[in-house]
Amino acid sequence: MPDTMELDRADLALLAHLQTGGRLTNAELAERVNLSPSACLRRVQRLEREGVISGYGAHLDPKRIGLGLQAFVRLQLLHREPAQVEHFAELVNAWDEVVSCHALTGDVDYILHVAVADLDHFSRFLLDRLLREDCVANVNSSVVLRVVKAGRSLPLSAVRT
């Protein structure tokens, strides 16, 4: 399967509506993008099969479910050997507090988006989990004061048709 898929305007319109209204029925979606319900369903199924649509889910308000503190943690590994990188990836995937983890270019190796209940929880995460790992060399964290824009939708206007 290729990394990218050829998308036309109808595909992009479907994706735009599904990114913001994933609970639309097929009939509602078809009407919004001016397709017949059967053509709409075939396209959505193809986008799912090809991995363009990787899943569906609800957007949760962290504060409403008791996750009142978010932070970004930048870190460097002690060594960048494949075994250590794989070990770190396994750790991060096991930690519920880590919402996302990205490998970066530049002066840090990774950035973690962390969501926890409060400052005590964040302190325990840093001291009892992250900093106890021998593979971690350097950690720098920033606590989120306010979310200005939450990344929920991809910029489909930047996709070439």
Query: What letters, b where the CB count within 10 A reaches 16 and e where it falls short, cover 143-158?
Result: eeeeeeeeeeeeeeee
| Residue 157 within any structural domain of the chain | no
Lowest average pLDDT, out of 26-35, 53-62, 63-72, 130-139, goes to 53-62
Residue 2: the pLDDT is 58
Number of domains in the chain: 2
| Residue 153 within any structural domain of the chain | no
> Which range of residues forms the domain containing residue 30?
9-58
Which of 54, 49, 12 minimizes the C-alpha distance to 33?
12
Residues 105 and 78 in one domain: yes
Predicted confidence (pLDDT) at residue 10 exceeds the cutoff of 70: yes
List the 69-77 sheet strands across, edge first.
98-103, 110-116, 69-77, 136-143
Each residue of 82-122: pLDDT tens digit?
Answer: 999 999 999 999 999 999 999 999 999 999 999 999 999 99
Each residue of 71-90: pLDDT tens digit?
Answer: 999 999 998 899 999 999 99
Residue 154: the pLDDT is 85
Residues 103 and 42 in one domain: no
> For the domain that residue 122 is a member of, what is the CATH number?
3.30.70.920
The C-alpha torsion from 81 through 85 and 87 to 90, rounded to 10°, is -170
Each residue of 42-79: pLDDT tens digit?
Answer: 999 999 999 999 998 888 899 999 999 999 999 999 98
Structure tokens, 18: 């599904």
pTM given for the model: 0.85
